[in-house]
Amino acid sequence: MQKKDITEIQDSSRVPSNVEVPYGSNCVRLSPREWLIIGIFVSALFYSMPMLWERIERFEPAPDYRLPYELSSDYWLYDRYCRWACSRYETLVIGDSVVWGHFVSRDNTLSYHLNKNAGRNQFANLGVDGIHPAALAGLLKYYGRDIKGTKVVLHFNPLWMSSKKHDLQIDKEFHFNHPKLVPQFTPDIPCYKDSYSKRMSAVVERYVTFLSWTSHLKITYFESMDLSAWTLEHPYENPLKAVTLKLPASENDAQSERISWKEKGTPRQDFQWVELGTSLQWSFFQRSIEMLKEKDNTVFVLVGPFNEHMLKGKSINTYRRMKSEIETWLQQNNVSYYMPPALPGELYRDASHPLSEGYAMLAKQLFENKSFRSSILHSK
């Protein structure tokens, strides 16, 4: 091609500056009105999809249901279960894996044996595996909003104060359970070192239901991975087929080890208990009580029963002093409670989890407790 021809082509591509080009190449330009319409549509989609999904995904818990073990971090489903349980059960049993029943089947948990003693389905199991008090306060605040005007049995597991590490006081980074639920910025948790972006993401998810719903999809159907990561792991599978609309069953036979800590050969331990006045976990548990009472709930606190048979050295005396301080605080703040004596040693799986016979004994003790009868069995 000659130089003259090239110049002509270049000149013909030039557009005078006073001529408006309505559309550029491979580009769609929206007017302000069209952007507004798109914004309204997307907002409606964000708002409506989680609600529409509840109509699509079947959720009909059987009696003595508990959140499936593999969905322990599915807070959107927990929120949904809270609403369901509050509308059907008179009393909610809330706590960590001791309430959930880590080493027993769902028909051997504390709530199951409480229902058996009551002769009806009065108690719902709202326990979550690994939910320490710092995370529990966040769970109740952001995903337990429907827990109001009802009866609550709130369990406190002293294990979370058995060391500075469990109490989240150490400065070295420690990857604990349910980091999305703890305070992301204030108050400061020394061992929590997640990046600013992860913290902000956790905060936003608490308030944007669409985001917690998408987390539900990832946890339930895509092995807790986002879609791109899941497709890399399953290159020949159709992602749409993975969305079966069937939630996992709440059974967990793999965890049902029916041998005691003695039979397993677990040694006795000298726990380094933290002081009640400096404990982060205890301060968050206090906050949980306050939040529940602010919503006109009748709160009954169950402390333990911790496996005192495992303690050795000065640990046992420190633990009993700590229990006495907890009892004093509960009395001073007019909180109904029960501190059961330690169960027989052979009825524990480890430091804090009873076996099925232990749960049965604990439920019987609660029904014989005067404070429990007056606050839970005969109030409201």
Per-residue pLDDT of the chain (380 residues; tens, 9 = 90+): 455 554 544 454 555 666 555 555 556 677 887 777 777 767 777 778 889 999 999 998 988 999 999 999 999 999 999 999 999 999 999 999 999 999 999 999 999 999 999 999 999 999 999 999 999 999 999 999 999 999 999 999 999 999 999 999 999 999 999 999 999 999 999 999 999 999 999 999 999 999 999 999 999 999 999 888 999 999 899 999 999 999 887 765 445 567 899 999 999 999 999 999 999 999 999 999 999 999 999 999 999 999 999 999 899 999 999 999 999 999 999 999 999 999 999 999 999 999 999 999 999 999 999 999 999 997 55
- Three-state SS for the chain is CCHHHHHHHHHHHCCCCCCCCCCCCCCCCCCHHHHHHHHHHHHHHHHHHHHHHHHHCCCCCCCCCCCCHHHCCCHHHHHHHHHHHHHHCCEEEECCHHHHCCCCCHHHCHHHHHHHHHCCCCEEECCCCCCCHHHHHHHHHHHCCCCCCCEEEEEECHHHHCCCCCCCCCCCCCCCCCHHHCCCCCCCCCCCCCCHHHHHHHHHHHHCHHHHHHHHHHHHHCCCCCHHHHHHHCCCCCHHHHCCCCCCCCCCHHHCCCCCHHHHCCCCECCCCCCHHHCHHHHHHHHHHHHHHHCCCEEEEEECCCCHHHECCCHHHHHHHHHHHHHHHHHHCCCEEECCCCCCHHHECCCCCECHHHHHHHHHHHHHCHHHHHHHHCCC
Q: Which homologous superfamily does the CATH classification assign to the domain defined by 67-377? A: SGNH hydrolase (3.40.50.1110)
Q: Distance (Å, rounded) from C-alpha 85 to C-alpha 310?
A: 36
CA–CA gap between residue 285 and residue 159 (Å, rounded): 13
> What's the CA gap between 210 and 46, in Å, rounded?
6
Two structure tokens written together for 314: 């000065």
Measure the CA–CA gap between 280 and 131, rounded to whole angstroms.
14
Beta-bridge partners for 82: none
Name the pTM for this structure: 0.88
Integer Cα distance of 221 and 56 in angstroms: 15
Distance CA 151, CA 90 (A): 7
